[in-house]
A and B are shown apart, each in its own frame.
Chain A
Amino acid sequence: MTLKLYAYGVIDSNEKMEESIKGLSEASVYNIPYRDIGIVVSDLDPQAQIKNEESIMRHEEVVEALMDRFTILPMRLYTVFSGREDLLLKVKDHYEDFIKNLDRVRNKAEFGIKVIWAGNIIKERIINAHKSESPSADPTRAGTKFMKEKFEKYKIDKEFEEEADRCIAILDGFLNRIASEKKIEKLKTDNLLLSASYLVDNEKRDDFETAFEVLRNSQGGDLKYLLSGPWPPYNFITLSHPEDGKLGGLDLVETLLQHKSSGRER
């Protein structure tokens, strides 16, 4: 049986790992050097079941252990290579990119912010305000009614987004001055006002957390916040020629759901 290589990340060192770290299926983690960088991997039995919560946590634990000692570009979860040659060929293609990205994220960590608001209530309020402003259309004229409803919906959505933009501008204005880069997603759902990642210099971690506390305490109870981190810089890696190897499918979701319903929650 030929073992595969499970990859955790690209680090700014080509030296042998001094400390023993256990990866997926308890396999030892080691570094495969390429020029002045390295790709951290562990051997993987192709038959091993790795689509489960334990493997996800282990992947992250390995990446974070490496993050304490090196600058790391974390690999996407479940990146597997058929062997050393295959891996080195890919690394050769992306070497310049890796160097640029390692420089960009050196001595920095990612923080995640999620802000929840009562989006459904805010939307309801906007809808009610529109209802009281405009009389309903003549129900006998179907075409007019359809067009009017479409236009009303457009206006409501626009107003809702503008309200979200105003809130996000205040939140981001507070945090952005401490971060060196950011990625912001607005309204992933009606209630998830903001889902953001900030890249923060290690020396400014405390400042960032303090700013977050001040922000949270100044907003009353209308918004709910979740701060997470420090994370490896997952959101701040940009490759010139990204290869998206995803195959799609819901099997991982199903596996995780089965796992959860099989009695882990006691």
Chain B
Amino acid sequence: MDRPIKVLQDKKSYLDLRRQEKVTLLEILDRALEKGVVISGDIVISVADVDLVYLGLKVLLSSVETMERLRGAPMPGATEEPT
């Protein structure tokens, strides 16, 4: 199954893909941990939403900035689907 995210990149090295996966994971956590249908059954396994989302944002900022620095250029114009 394709992962849904489109990250702004003009080329995909191995490191780019690894970073893209990280950002995808954070985007999923941003939604699936904090949002969605909540009808708690007997068990809802512990979810550290606030802290994790905050943590995620810090990592996200860092990852976007790192992507840009490593490429040595501002965000390019092309948007690509991941492979």
- A133: interface (CB < 8 Å): no
With A64-B1, A224-B75, A231-B4 in contact, is A74–B46 under 8 Å at CB?
no
With A73-B37, A224-B64 in contact, is A252–B48 under 8 Å at CB?
yes
Residues of chain B within 8 A of A224, CB atoms compared = 64-65, 68, 74-75
Contact B5 A247 (CB under 8 A): no
Q: 28 pairs across A/B with beta carbons < 8 Å?
A: A56-B25, A56-B32, A57-B25, A60-B3, A60-B28, A64-B1, A74-B32, A76-B34, A78-B47, A80-B44, A86-B41, A87-B41, A213-B77, A217-B77, A221-B74, A224-B65, A225-B75, A226-B7, A227-B8, A227-B79, A229-B4, A229-B6, A230-B4, A243-B40, A245-B40, A247-B46, A248-B48, A252-B48
Residues of chain A within 8 A of B30, CB atoms compared = 112
Docked pose: A81 CA to B41 CA in angstroms: 5
Contact A234 B46 (CB under 8 A): no
* B37-71 contact mask (Cβ, 8 Å, vs A): 1 or 0: 11111111111110110010110110011001000
Count of inter-chain pairs, beta carbons less than 8 A: 180
Our pick among B25, B39, B42 for the contact of A91 (Cβ within 8 Å) is: B39
Top 4 A-B pairs, shortest CB-CB distance: A245-B40, A245-B44, A81-B41, A234-B31
Taking CB atoms and an 8 Å cut-off, the chain A residues in 241-259 that contact chain B are 242-253, 256
With A227-B8, A230-B4 in contact, is A242–B38 under 8 Å at CB?
yes
- A202: interface (CB < 8 Å): no
- A216: interface (CB < 8 Å): yes
CB-based nearest A residue for B35: A234
* A residues neighboring B (CB under 8 Å): 4-5, 7, 9-10, 50-51, 53, 56-57, 59-61, 64-65, 73-82, 86-87, 90-91, 93-94, 98, 110, 112, 114, 116, 188-189, 191-192, 195, 209, 213, 216-217, 221, 224-231, 234-235, 237, 239, 242-253, 256, 265
Nearest CB of A to B57, in Å? 6
Docked pose: A226 CA to B68 CA in angstroms: 12
Query: Interface size class for chain B?
Result: 35 or more
Contact A56 B29 (CB under 8 A): yes
Contact B1 A116 (CB under 8 A): no
Contact A59 B32 (CB under 8 A): yes
- B12: interface (CB < 8 Å): no
With A189-B58, A192-B57, A235-B31 in contact, is A229–B5 under 8 Å at CB?
yes
Contact B41 A253 (CB under 8 A): no
Contact A57 B41 (CB under 8 A): no
- B27: interface (CB < 8 Å): yes
Docked pose: A226 CA to B39 CA in angstroms: 31
- B72: interface (CB < 8 Å): no
Docked pose: A73 CA to B38 CA in angstroms: 10
Nearest CB of B to A172, in Å? 19
Nearest CB of A to B35, in Å? 4
Contact A79 B38 (CB under 8 A): yes
Contact B41 A79 (CB under 8 A): yes
Our pick among B32, B47, B58, B79 for the contact of A247 (Cβ within 8 Å) is: B47
Contact B25 A75 (CB under 8 A): no
Our pick among A50, A116, A228, A246 for the contact of B5 (Cβ within 8 Å) is: A228
